[in-house]
Amino acid sequence: MRSHPLLRAGAAGVALLALSACQSLQSSDNFLGVITPYRVEVVQGNVVTKEQAQALKPGMNRAQVRDILGSPLLTDAFHQSRWDYVFTIRRQGAQPQQRRVVVLFDGEQMKSVDTGGELPGERDFVQSIDTFKTARNAPPLALSEAQLKALPPPRKSAEPEAVAASAASAVRSYPPLEAR
């Protein structure tokens, strides 16, 4: 049984079209403009903010630096006077970020800090990775004067002296702590 040459050419064309569709699925962010594939959030390293970098002062010892920045992501056996703090984050709906902060020591004392440029403040960093900005338009958690006046008055509870007297009159018996 022989297949027709036109049929073979059509099958080859369909196969090429299918393979090219596979490539475009890998490079795009959505499928047919409807389905967005889940991307794993990857966070690596230590977040170092502007406030943390400003808290560092030359002459601090290694323990003080570790208290402020955390443990370094990279330490090198051949360069014991250098600590590298590397931070990367890839989060769906936010721009990927990568930073490197290098702390140099002279013996046990911190000598210098290289931030590699401007570091974001704590609030700026949180805003840059916050993907729920539109969902946080919650009403304030305070009542207006009109709402306060509309509340029912609080109920009066039993007199405190009567409650204290009834508690003092109750005698409890407990088992002995040690066997006799």
| Structural domain for 55, as ranges | 42-116
Question: Picking from 29-43, 57-71, 116-130, which range would have the lowest pLDDT averaged per residue?
Answer: 29-43
Domain assignment present for 112: yes
Domain assignment present for 87: yes
Domain assignment present for 7: no
* pTM of this prediction exceeds 0.85: no
Check residue 178 and report its DSSP letter.
S
CATH number for the domain including 46?
A: 3.30.1450.10
Statement: residue 116 has pLDDT above 70: yes
Domain assignment present for 106: yes
How many structural domains comprise the chain?
Answer: 1
Domain assignment present for 64: yes
Domain assignment present for 149: no
Statement: residue 24 has pLDDT above 60: no
